[in-house]
Amino acid sequence: MNQQLIVNDEDAAMAVFYRLLDDGAAIDEALAASVLQYPATARLLSEAALLIVGRVNADHAHDTAMVSTVKSVAERVIESRAPAQKRDASISETAGSLQEMIDKLNVLSQEAAAKLGIPTSILAKLMNRLLEVATIPGDLLLDISDLIGVNEKRLYSYLQRPPMLSTEEFVGDKKPQVGERQPFLTAMKACGKEKNLDTVAYRYWLKLAETEDTSLGS
Amino acid sequence: VNRQVPNSVRSEQTQSSSFVHDPMVLKQVEECLKFSPSRMMTYVSTLNSSDTKIREEALVILARRFALRGSDTIAWKLVQILCDRVTLSIARSAQLWRLSPVVAEEVIEVTLSHLYDSVLASQESAQFWEIRFWVCFDRYLLSVLRRHRILGDKFVPSVPMDEMTVDTTQTRTPAYNWHDPSLRVVVAEGLAQLPGQYRTAFMLKHWAGFPESSVNPADKATIAAVMGVSDRTVRNYLSRAESILNSWRTSEAVVDNQERQTG
């Protein structure tokens, strides 16, 4: 992580200037020292100095019209860059490698469940697609996708597919049947808290499931 | 003004232009990564509303890391925090350079879009955002202002500066004590209106404390040497800058008086 990064003179000059200011130098001292070191960037440094002085001008802080303009444009840019809606029912991409990752997660289910702060049985239901996807807290899906290293969109499309047979269905000689999908909160309350579970995380998911409209990314 | 390069600056740069991550930033990143992504976001939000804010560089590192892992939503949320942090700065800059609403909107949109693209870019060059966020941000903001010809680049003298007569009445009888630090904030808006060369010369003299020229041609710490122009050109730049600033001050005083009377 801490490798050296070579930058051009303009970046280097600005970095020196800002570092001096961070260290408590007055703006005139910082400007003089950085121009001395990088004379070819004198104009850029002067403009940067002006930018910084302009920022601390208390009068400008009260320019509410400009602040609201900036905020509304910022909101527009942020929205336009938002990841595509994950709850789009039309998503039906194949998930070959995802299935492998899910399998891996199932093998490591105890450890994975502990990391996520959910009971093992809930993780198993989730991976067998026996939970109503819309009721699963978006943050939990984020954590799972991060844990198994897949894009949230792919995880969501995987969970939307029809439920799978769980191993518990293969008992005796009766024909195994695919279970009904359950709301996340109902499943959590039904299974109760496991012994080694992170209590804080468990309560967090319960609270989220109770309070939030679990749209991912909202 | 101390016109020396402090040793701290020299030691930070292992070469003339190579930089490394700040250890404090790396520590913050390490702290954040102890949590699951969703709880990390709660932690970051909690810190964001406290005095011990997470540094912008740490947010950049985290956003880039999560984007690489494919956790687009977390990466997006982290960049959103960065956008919130820069909003006021852009607003003040737009005000300083007196941008019209249309130009201001364009500058804001281009700058924030660039922030998203750069922070989440996988190229190595984008790594400097992890090391000096505000340097990258301000450099880009200034380049956008320059592209919109807001930084006074339009100025082209009709006669070469070297051949102009210096208006000594302006330079010898300044209307202000330009060395007064409190005045700098007041005149920042006036300086923002100056053509680029005038502003640079003016700030080198009155802020950085550089002499106009030196009898010793080897002396590099003069405005003439730094800007690569003659002594006479420097004097012309300064004279004209002060003249424009005096006019600006008069017009500002008129506006102030009008506002006082109507208010």
Q: Give the DSSP letter string of B32-75.
A: HTTS-HHHHHHHHHHHHTSSSPPPHHHHHHHHHHHHHHT-HHHH
Asked if the Cβ–Cβ distance from B94 to A16 is below 8 Å, we say no
B72-96 and B101-119 are packed helices; what angle lies between their axes, rounded to 10 degrees?
150
Asked if the Cβ–Cβ distance from B210 to A35 is below 8 Å, we say yes
What is the four-CA torsion angle of A108, A111, A117, A122, rounded to 10 degrees?
A: 40
Residue B15: per-residue pLDDT: 44
In terms of Cβ atoms closer than 10 Å to its own Cβ (0-12, 13-18, 19+), residue A175 is exposed
Q: CA–CA separation, B259 vs B253, rounded Å?
A: 10
Contacts of B13 in chain A (CB under 8 A): 12, 16
Asked if the Cβ–Cβ distance from B95 to A63 is below 8 Å, we say yes
Q: Which residue of B has its CA nearest to A218?
A: B73
Spatial CB neighbours of B180, under 8 Å, sequence gap ≥ 6 = none
Residue A20 forms contact with B (CB below 8 Å): yes
Asked if the Cβ–Cβ distance from A2 to B131 is below 8 Å, we say no
Asked if the Cβ–Cβ distance from B135 to A11 is below 8 Å, we say yes
Asked if the Cβ–Cβ distance from A42 to B38 is below 8 Å, we say no
Report H helices in B70-167.
72-96, 101-119, 128-131, 133-147
Residue B159: per-residue pLDDT: 47
Contacts of B7 in chain A (CB under 8 A): none
Residue B97: per-residue pLDDT: 83
CB B1, CB B9: distance < 8 Å = no
Q: Classify strands A5-6 and B18-19 as parallel, antiparallel or unpaired.
A: antiparallel
Residue A105: per-residue pLDDT: 63
Contacts of A142 in chain B (CB under 8 A): 37-38, 71, 73-74
Q: CA–CA separation, B224 vs A42, rounded Å?
A: 12
Average pLDDT value over all residues in chain A: 76
Residue A195 forms contact with B (CB below 8 Å): no
User: From the candidates B3, B4, B8, B9, which should be mutated to test the interface with A, based on the most A CB atoms within 10 A?
Assistant: B9
How far A176 CA sits from the closest chain B CA (Å)? 36
Provide the token pair at A122: 């809930």
Asked if the Cβ–Cβ distance from B95 to A71 is below 8 Å, we say no
Residue B79: per-residue pLDDT: 93
Q: Which residue of A has its CA nearest to B23?
A: A2
**Which residue reads 């359950």 in tokens?**
A182
The conformation of residue B24, written as its DSSP 8-state character, comes to: H
Q: Which of B72, B87, B139 minimises the CB distance to A70? A: B87
User: From the candidates A1, A17, A53, which should be mutated to test the interface with B, based on the most B CB atoms within 10 A?
Assistant: A53
Residue B81: per-residue pLDDT: 92
The model scores a pTM over 0.90: no
Asked if the Cβ–Cβ distance from B6 to A5 is below 8 Å, we say no
Q: CA–CA separation, B235 vs A73, rounded Å?
A: 43
The conformation of residue B4, written as its DSSP 8-state character, comes to: S
B37-48 and B72-96 are packed helices; what angle lies between their axes, rounded to 10 degrees?
20
The conformation of residue A5, written as its DSSP 8-state character, comes to: E
What is the four-CA torsion angle of A41, A43, A45, A48, rounded to 10 degrees?
A: -140
Q: CA–CA separation, A2 vs A4, rounded Å?
A: 7
Q: CA–CA separation, B207 vs B133, rounded Å?
A: 25
Q: CA–CA separation, B251 vs B259, rounded Å?
A: 12
SS3 A35: helix
A120-127 and A109-116 are packed helices; what angle lies between their axes, rounded to 10 degrees?
100
Asked if the Cβ–Cβ distance from B38 to A70 is below 8 Å, we say no
User: What percentage of chain B's residues is helix, strand, coil (to nearest 5)?
Assistant: 65, 0, 30
Q: CA–CA separation, B173 vs B170, rounded Å?
A: 6
Displacement of CA A89 from its chain's centroid (Å): 21
pLDDT tens per residue, chain B (263 residues)?
A: 455 544 444 444 444 567 888 999 999 999 998 888 888 888 888 887 777 789 999 999 999 988 887 788 889 899 999 998 898 888 888 888 888 888 888 889 999 999 998 998 877 778 889 999 999 999 999 999 888 766 655 444 444 545 544 444 444 334 455 556 666 666 788 888 888 899 999 999 988 889 998 888 777 789 999 999 999 999 999 999 988 888 887 776 656 666 666 65
CB B188, CB A57: distance < 8 Å = yes
Q: CA–CA separation, A132 vs A184, rounded Å?
A: 7
Residue A175: per-residue pLDDT: 63
Provide the token pair at B101: 């609403």
Q: Which residues of chain A have pLDDT under 70?
A: 1-4, 57-63, 84-108, 165-178, 192-196, 212-218
Residue A15 forms contact with B (CB below 8 Å): yes
**A window 131-150, beta carbon within 8 A of B:** 138-140, 142-143, 145-147, 149-150
Q: Which residue of B has its CA nearest to A82?
A: B76
Residue B205: per-residue pLDDT: 92
* Interface predicted TM-score (ipTM) of this complex, two decimals: 0.80
Asked if the Cβ–Cβ distance from A3 to B79 is below 8 Å, we say no
**What are the E-state strand segments in A112-194?**
none
From residue A159, give the alpha-carbon distance in Å to each of A126, A150, B128: 8, 13, 38
Report the amino acid identity of residue A41: T
Asked if the Cβ–Cβ distance from A55 to B93 is below 8 Å, we say yes
Degrees, nearest 5: CA angle B54-A53-B103? 90
Q: Which residue of A has its CA nearest to B38?
A: A139
